Structure 1
C-alpha cells in the first residue's frame, strides 16, 4: 500500500511539473508562424487563416502577441491561454466564438489589447475579463450580445467622441489642446479660422475624411509636429498651406489623388524640420531630380510612382518606401545615388525584371531590403556585394527559379529571408550553408519538387534549431506529377537512401574480387603483361628514334651472363671487334653508370642493329638476361611488323641444351622453334665457319633460313 502511494505521489509530481512548464520555442510551429523581430525577446505569433477549431497548444510561452483571427474557433477556455503570462495583445477576431469561460484571461495579466470582434458572443458575464487590469483596448464589435453583466466593465472606463462637423469657433475654447484626432469622419472642409487659438497643438490627425484641399486653418501652427492628411481626396499641393510649420516632423499625405505639385519641387513646402514624409503621386508626374532639396533632415520617405532620381540631397534618409501602381518603365542604375545613410528600402513593382550590378553601391548602410512584385527571374551575387550588412531580405512575389546567387553574395549577417510566391524548384544545401545567421525563412507558394535534390532541404527544415521555416508543414509538392499536392515534409526519401550495410557489403565484395583478380593476373598473366609492357616500351623508344632520325650507335648488343664473360671477352670480342671490325655494346663496358638498369638495357638494344644472345644454363637462370632477351625479342617482333622481316636477333648456344630442358623457358623455346641459331660446341675445331656465319648474320638483312 505504501509503495502504491509513493508511485502515485511521483506521478502527480511529474504531471504537475509538466503542467506548469512553459511552452518551448519551436522553430517550425505546426499551425502557426513566429513573425520576425529584431528583438528576439518580443515574439509575435500569427495563426490567422489556418482553419483552426481550437487554440494550438504549442504557442511559445514568451509570446507577446498572438493573432488567431479568421479561423473556426468556437470556445476559449482557461486552459487554452495557460502559460502565456507575457502576452500583451490577443486578436481572436472573425471566429465562431460562442462562449468564453470565466477566468479564461486570469493568466494573461500583461494583456493590453483584446480583439473579440465579429464573433457569436451573446453574453458578457461577470468574471469574463477577470485579471485584465492592464487592458487598454477592448473590441467587441459585430457580436450578438444580448446580456451584459453590470460589473463586467467595472475595472475600466471607456469614452468615445465623434465629431462630424467643424465650425469656425467650435474649438475656440481648446487653447491648451496638444493632440487633436478628427479621423474617420465625413469632414469635407474646415473653416479658415477653425484653429486660431491652438498655440500648443502638436498633433493633428485628419485621416480618412473627404477633404479635397489642404486646410488653410493650419497655417501658422508653429508648434505642430504631426500632420496626418492620409486617405482624403486632396489633389493639389501649394506651398502657402505649409507656411510657418517650422516644427513639423511628420507629414502624411498618402492615399490621396495628388496630381499637381507646385514647381514639382517639395522644397517649396519650407519644411526644414521634416523627418517623415508619406506621399502618393499616382496621378502626378514623378518628382524631378533635386525635388527634395531643402528637406535635409528627412529620415523616412514613402513614395509611389517615382521613376526619376530625386534623392541626391537626402544624405540623412534612413527609410525609403517606393510603390508603383501603373505602367512599366526603366530605372536608372544610379537611382539611389546620394542615399549614403539608407538602412531600409522597400519597393513594390519598381525594379521590374532585373537589377543592375551597381544598384546598391550608393547604399552601403542598407540593412533591410524588400523587392517584391517586380517579376525578377534572375539575380546575380554581384548585386548584393555592396551591402554585406543586410539583415532582412524580402524577394517575395517575383519569378525567381533559383537562390544560387545567395551562395556567393556574402550575406553572413542575414537573419530574415522571404522568397515566397516565386517559382523555386530546388534549394541547394550550399545556399543554406552560405547564410549562417538565418533565423527565419519563408518558402511558401513555390514549386518545390519532391525529389532527391531537395532531400538536404527537408532534413535541414526538420532538424534546424536556429531557423524557423514559416508554414513549413503546409508546403506541398509541385513535382513530380505523381507527388503533386502531397505535403513536402511528409515526402519519403527511403527509396533514395543508400543502405549503409549494403554499401559496406558492396565495398568489401568489390575489394575481395579485386584482390582475387589481381592475384590471378599476377600468377597466370604476369608474363603476358610483361610482354605487353616491353612491347609498348619498345614501340615508344623506336618511334622516338625514328622521328628524330637517330642512327644506330652499335652493330650489335651482346646479351650474356657474367659467368660466360670469359668466353665473350676471350673469343667473341677479339674476333668480332678485332678481326671483323664490328662495334659491339657490352654492359660491363658501355652501360651508363647511375642510370636504371632497365633503361640501360632498352637503350643498348634499340641503339644496336642486332642483338647477340649468348645462351647457357647460367643465362637461362638469370633474371636480367631473361629481361634482355625479352626486350630483344620484342624488338625483333616490332621490326618484323614494321621493317620487312629484318632479323635483329642472333642466338649463340655455348652448350648443347636438350629441348626438354628448354620447356620451362618459354621465351627461348619459342624463339628456337621459329628462328635459326648457332652452336659453339658443334663448331668444334672449325671455328672459322662459326665466325663467318655470325658475320653473315650481322651483314644480311633477311632471316636465316636454316638451322646450324
Structure 2
C-alpha cells in the first residue's frame, strides 16, 4: 500500500512539474505531503484573494482557497483544472455561483463551500459534478434549494446543510433525487415540524441524519421514510415539554443503532415513550437531561441491546450501588462532568461487561477499590479529577486494562505496587500531576507498557534502573519537569524504546557529561532535549560525547537552550551514524566547526533557525562535505548575508531550502545551479536589492517549473531606497536584458560600413582630409598669434608660386623687392626648414609673413601644393579679416578657365589683383603697385572687399 502511495505521489510530481508554467504563481504554495494520500495540494488560503487565483497548475488534485474574500465563482474560473478531486472554498464571502461555473470539474469528489453567504442552491450551480461524493454548504444563508439541483449528482454520499436558514422540511425534496445519499446534516436550521407526510418518498440509502439544534415541536412519522437509518442526532431539539412525538410503527426506526438525544427537555413519561421508538439502539447519548432522576432515566433507556451510554452533565454527584442495575449489558459508559464526589465498591457491580469507563472531569479524590468489580475493563479515563493517592488495590483486578488516563489530577507519589497487576497495560498517561519521583514506581511493571507520559510534573532526578522493568516501552515523555540529574544507566532496560522526550527541564552539560546516561537504549530513534540549560564554552572536543551509544538515533532536538548553547563541540554528535534529523535552532551559536557533521553521514534535515550566523565564514562549504545527502535545511532568522557557502557544498540532493528573515540581498545563478534537486525555496523577509544584479533570480523564480519559490509575491525590495517596499517580483528585468544577437549585428554592420567609408575617403578625399588636418594646425597657429598681438613678422611677404616660374622669381622678383626696396621675402627653396613637413613649412611661412603673394599661372592652378598654400592663406584672410593676400596674374587666364577652381574664382571676383605687364609694356607701375601692396598696413580699408562686394578697378 505504501509503495502504491509513493508511486502515485511521484507520478503526480512528475506530471505537475512537467505541465505547470511555474511554481511561483500568485501567493499560493504547493504542498508535498507523503502522508496526504499521495496527492499534491495547492494552498491558497489566507492570501486576501477577491477572486479565484489564476493561473493555477493544471494537474493539481487538491486545492484550498479558504479564508479569503472571494464573493463569486464565475464561469471559466476552473476551466484548466479537470483533474481536481478536492476543492475547499470555505470561509469566503461567496453569494453567487454562476451557471456552469463548476462544470469544468468532472473528477471533483469533495466540494467545501461552508462559511459563505449563499442563499439559494440553483439548478445549474452544480452541473457537471458527476463524480461529487461530498458537498458541504454548512454555515451559509441557505433558504431554498431548487428542484433539479441534485438531479445529476448520482455519486453524492454526503450533504452538509448545518447552520442555515432552512425552515420547511418539504424544501428537501431535491435531495430525494440523490440515489446513494448516506449522510445528511441538517443541524441548527429553523425546522419546527418534521412530518413524514411532507416528504413524498423515502430516503432509501440514508444511514446518518443530523437534526440537532432545530426548534422542533412536532416529530411525526406516518411512513417509513428512513428504512436504512443507523444514526440519528436529535440533540437540543425539544426545548418544551409540549412537543408532539408520534411514530406510527416502532419498526420504522428499528435500524437506528446510534441515538443522540442529549440536552432536551422531556418528562419521564415522554422519555419512556420516545425510547420505545428505538428498540434496537446500541449506543445512546443522554447528556444534559433535566427534569427527572438518573435512575429513572436509565430504567427507560437501558434496553438489552444498549452497549454504549453517554451520561455527561447530569449532576451525578453520588454513584449508588443500584444506579446502573438496568444497564447490565453496557460495554461503554461515559460520566464526564457530573460532579461525582464518591463511588462505592458496589457502584459498578452490575456492569461486569464494561470495557470502557470514562469518569473524567469530576470531583473524585480516591477510588476506594471501586474498580475491582470490572475485570473486563480495557479503557479507564480518570483525568481532570482531584485524586491525590492511589492505593495498591485500586487496580488490583484490572488484568485486561490497556489504557489508563490519570493526567491532570493531584498525585504526588506512586508506590511500586499500584501498577503491579496491570499486566496488559499499554498506555499510561500521568501528565500534569505533582509527582516528585518515580524511583521504584515501575519496579514491578507493568511489563507490557508501551507508552508512558509523565509530562509536566515535579521530577528532579532520574535514578539508575528507574525504568528497568519496562522492557516493552516504546515512548517515554518526561518533558516539562525539573530534571537536572540523570544518573548513568537511568534508562537501562529500555531495549525497545524508540522515542524519549526530555524537553523543558533543567538538564545541563554536566547532566550529560557521562555517555552512560543513555546506556540501555540501543534502539532509541528520537531524542528531544530542547529548552534545557546545557551549554559549552568552546568547540573543543568532549572527553565523553553524550550520544556515543545511540547509534540508531534518527532525530535529535537540542534547540532553544535557555542559556544558549553558544558552541557545539566538534565531536558532539559522535556516535550518531544513522542520524537523519537534527534540530539546532535558537542556540546563539555564531559558527559551526568544520568537523561537526563528520559523524552523521546520513543526515537529511538540518534546522539552524534563529542563530547568529552573520559572519560570512559561519557556514562553509567544507562543513557540508560529510552530509552531501542533505535533503532539507532551515536557516531562518540567522542574520545570513550570503548563501555562497552552498556553491561548493555539493548538496546535490537538497530539495528544500528555507532561509527566511535574513539579510540576503542577492541570489546569483551559481547558487541555484549548485542545487539541482531544489523543489522548495523560502526566502521571505530578506533585504533584497531591486536592480539588475537580481534580474536573473527574479526571472528564474517567476518562470521556472522545477522549484517552488514560496510566497514570491510577498518578497519586497529594501534597496535602493526609492524602491523600498515595492514587490521584488514586479521589478522590470527587461531593462537588464542584453540582446547579444542584436549587438553582434550592430557591431558587424558598423565594421562593414566603417570599412566602406574608410575606403571611400581614402580613394576620393585623401588630400582633403590631409588639408583639413593641416588647416586645423593653421588655426591653432593663428590662435597662438592672436594671444600675442605684438609679435613682429619674420617676413614682409611669402611668395607662393609654381616651380615653372622660379626663374622669373629669382631673376626679377627677388632683385626688385629685396635688393631695391629692402623687403624680406620668404621663398620655398631658400627659407623652408629642411626635414620639416612641407605643409608645416607652408603654414609657418604664411603666418610668419605680413602678406602672401600668389603668382597665378596655369601651372599654379594645377599644382596641389600651390592649392594648399592659397587655401591656408584664404583661411587666414577670412579668419583675421585683414588685407593679407595679394594676387598677381603672370598669365592671362579667362574667367571660364577659373570655374573648376572655385576658391580662386571667388577670390578674383571679390578682391583686387595685379597683372604682370606684357612684353614691351612699362613695368615700373607694376613693381611700384606690388611694393605698395606689400607695405600696406593690414588695417587699411578693405571691408567692402571682404564683405563680398565686387570690385571692378585693378591696381
Name the TM tier (shorter chain). Answer: 0.5 to 0.7
Judging changes above 3 Å, is the alpha-carbon distance between structure 1 residues 425 and 237 closer, same or farther for their aligned structure 2 residues?
A: farther
Distance 1:486 1:275 in 2: 49
1:240 corresponds, among 417, 437, 440, to 440
Secondary structure at the counterpart of residue 529 of structure 2:
strand
Residue in structure 2 matched with residue 271 of structure 1 by the alignment: 494
Indicate which of 412, 432, 440 corresponds to 2:652: 412
2:528 corresponds to which residue? 302
1:380 to 607, 620, 626: 620
Contact 1:107 1:131 in 2 (8 A): no
Q: Could you say which residue in structure 2 is the equivalent of 1:694?
A: none
**Aligned-pair CA distance for 1:391:** 1.5
Cross-structure match for 1:42: 39
Match of 2:680 in 1: 440
User: 2: distance between equivalents of 1:119 and 1:206?
Assistant: 44
Q: Give the CA deviation at 1:514.
A: 7.5
TM-score (norm 2): 0.44
**Residue 82 and residue 189 in structure 1: after superposition, are their counterparts in 2 closer, same or farther (change >3 A)?**
farther
State which of 308, 311, 323 in structure 1 corresponds to 2:559. 323
Other structure's SS at 2:608 match: strand
Mapped to 1, the partners of 2:456 and 2:141 lie a distance apart of 31
Match of 2:390 in 1: 191
In structure 1, which of residues 65, 68, 80 is the aligned counterpart of residue 66 of structure 2? 68
> Of the two, which has the highest radius of gyration?
2
Contact 2:141 2:165 in 1 (8 A): no
Asked if the contact 1:61/1:85 (under 8 Å) is kept, the reply is no
1:417 aligned counterpart, secondary structure? strand
Listed as ranges, the gaps of 5+ residues in structure 1 are 1-21, 525-708
* 8 Å Cα contact 1:442/1:470 also seen in 2: yes
Whole-Å Cα distance in 2 between the matches of residues 339 and 148 of structure 1? Answer: 67
Q: Does 1:334 align with 2:571?
A: yes
Greater length-normalized contact order (CA 8 Å, ≥ 6 residues apart)? 1
Q: Deviations over 1:29-61 (max 9, x none)?
A: 423222233479332443343234566574876
Structure 2 vs 1, CA of residues 516 and 91 (structure 1 numbering), >3 Å: closer, same or farther? Answer: same
Tell me if structure 2 keeps the 8 A contact 1:33–1:470: yes
In 2, the alpha carbon distance for the partners of 1:44 and 1:282 equals 38
Label 1:500 to 1:363 Cα distance change in 2 as closer, same or farther (>3 A): closer
Structure 1 residue matching 2:743: 3-state secondary structure:
helix
1:355 correspondence with 2:592: yes
Separation (CA, whole Å) in 1 of partners of 2:394 and 2:702: 63
User: How far does residue 100 in structure 1 lie from its aligned partner after superposition?
Assistant: 9.2
Distance of aligned partners of 1:387 and 1:68 in 2 relative to their CA distance in 1, 3 Å threshold: same
**Ranges in structure 2 where 5+ consecutive residues have no aligned partner:** 1-15, 70-90, 143-161, 167-171, 195-208, 212-228, 232-257, 261-284, 286-309, 311-333, 337-359, 464-484, 536-544, 767-955
- How many residue pairs get aligned? The number is 496
Question: Are 1:75 and 1:99, in contact at CA under 8 Å, matched by a contact in 2?
Answer: no
Deviation of the 1:343 alpha carbon: 1.4
Q: Which residue in 2 is equivalent to 1:394?
A: 634
CA contact (8 A) 1:258 1:284 kept: no
- Are residues 1:426 and 2:666 paired? yes
Q: Is the 8 A contact 1:394 1:417 kept in 2?
A: yes
Residues 32 and 333 of structure 1: CA distance in aligned 2, closer, same or farther (over 3 Å): same
Kindly report which structure 2 residues correspond to 1:1-150, keeping only aligned pairs within 5 A, or say none: 27-38=23-34, 41-52=38-49, 58=56, 62-63=60-61, 66=64, 68-69=66-67, 73-75=92-94, 83=105, 122-123=163-164
User: 1:498-577, aligned counterparts within 5 Å?
Assistant: 498-500=738-740, 502-509=742-749, 511-512=751-752
Moved more, 120-129 or 284-293: 120-129
Spell out, residue by residue over 1:3-46, the C-alpha distance to the aligned partner (whole angstroms, 9 max, x if none): xxxxxxxxxxxxxxxxxxx9976623423222233479332443
How far residue 423 of structure 1 moved from its aligned partner, in angstroms, is 1.8
Choose which of 534, 550, 553 in structure 2 pairs with 1:314: 550
How far apart are residue 492 of structure 1 and its match?
0.6
Shift of 1:512: 3.7
Alpha-carbon distance, 1:229 to partner: 4.7
Deviation at 1:293, TM superposition (A): 1.5
State the shift of 1:128 in Å: 9.7
- Assess if the C-alpha contact under 8 Å between 1:333 and 1:358 holds in 2: yes
> Could you tell me how far apart the structure 2 residues matched to 1:213 and 1:50 are?
49
TM-score normalised by the chain length of structure 1: 0.58
SS in 1 for 2:728: coil
* 1:648-663 correspondence to structure 2 within 5 Å: none
Q: Are the structure 2 counterparts of residues 201 and 328 from structure 1 closer, same or farther at C-alpha, using a change threshold of 3 Å?
A: same
Of residues 702, 711, 723, the one that matches 1:462 is 702
